[in-house]
A and B are shown apart, each in its own frame.
Chain A
Amino acid sequence: MLSKLTTPFFAAINASRYGVGLYVLMGTFCVLICAFSALFFGVIPISVADVFNAQATFEQHILIELRLPRVLLALCVGAILAICGCITQGLFRNPLADPSIIGVSAGASAGASIVIVLFSEQVSYFGGLSLVFFGAFIGSILAVFLVYRLATTAAGTSVTTLLLAGIALTFFAGSLASFLQYLGDNDMLKRLSLWRMGGFDHANYTHVALAISMLLILCAILPRFIKALNAFLLGESQAFYLGINVKVTKRVLIICVAAGVGLSVALAGTIAFVGLIVPHIVRLCVGADHRLVLPISACLGACLLILTDTLARTVLQPEEIPVGLITSFIGAPVFMWLLKTHHHKVVDP
């Protein structure tokens, strides 16, 4: 659908023998710079010198206990969402697909609503994780499991049915969440809508550990499926003719997306547009080869969420804006611009 931007900069790297390595190196470098600079923005002014200043224990405490886990969580969630976006778009052979298309976000939202409304009196924590986290995570996994079962017959999993079942489930989970909202009181409503807008303000090291583990698991699994994802872009039967085990590939990739997005939504609420827009921009720059698209999207997603989270906590300080609000607020216009400027090159078959 979208064709590739051909700027001399990207063309030069694409032509280089070390293309992938160069991109990944540059991407990691950008992520590190973003993460490092983000540590020094915030309500309390902290300078780099404070890190080495023995007197500045208060500032160091803020850095290590508040800002570092927050930045790390934003990094991981951004990378996970972008990776899951790539996979969904490849799996559905649609550059405009989004992970929420298979019902992950809706399921998480319903799960969170159930926990907030029904268990409001006893807000409990298990090992640094709130009950809402478990509700959202279980909700999202259940949703994907249900959608996947609906779309799977003896003949295999139909991607079209998956999409339609995802839409149906989104409506069902949405009505469930609305009904619970209707039952809830003012305090519950506020917590619900705040959760839904997403944010990293409760970040702690348990969250970070979970997110990092998920990111590492994805990084361990996905390289084996890069060829399969590329073949999938041609079509499912074409991938089969190229020797790809279509059934296993689909199952593993859907589990990856469900776990990845489920965890992200449970940790940080629904953060829209990262999974949709990041792989899209990356494809415009480097083409459709997943060997490049996956790692670069991960880096760009990480940078993007670190930056938006920094904006979220500095723009209206000392107040905080939910980060999901900012990603939509910036993401939607950027996406409209992309549609306007690059869709004239659309050549539909």
Chain B
Amino acid sequence: MKKLLLTFFVVLCFAFVSFAAEILLEEPVIVTSAGQSPGALQFTVVAKMVSLDYKFDKLYKAEDVDMSQFKTFVIVVGASGKGLGAAGIDIEVEINRVLALAREAKDNGLKIVICNLEGASRRGESSDKIVTTLAPLASVYFVKSDANEDGFFTNLSEEAGVPMATFEMTVGLKDVLAQYFGK
């Protein structure tokens, strides 16, 4: 009986460590927008609250970034007509830009976070297309709850077997970052 309990305890410990390792994210972090909404800017404001070591540019290009300098790549998804117009690009160009960055990040061993920080207001054809295109490369999803009322992110997360953290309010991302980055 003693042996059985000991075995169970050891297995449990390994299971916990492996789960923790699977979702542990590391700094430094590179952040970009996918869709040019202000969500990525919001992410940086919350990131400052937990003193996250990050670099941000809403228009990073794969050829201009040395991904080997980073450990985690955060893509904040939110399609904005105004934002895309201001950047002088369309949604297809935007998707290709972010996809190239994500592939470069994957090749360099970075973990990729797909983040919806603006909730239901950034769900729609264009935003969903960005998410589904990037889904095969996702390591984890950070999602504001009202963006997942139809289970869109839950389905993607379960299909790919990657974790998902949800939060009710924008400021709730602070706790998620603290948890995932061990802050």
Q: Do A and B bind each other?
A: no
Residues of B at under 8 Å CB distance from A? Answer: none
Point out residues on A near B: beta carbons under 8 Å.
none
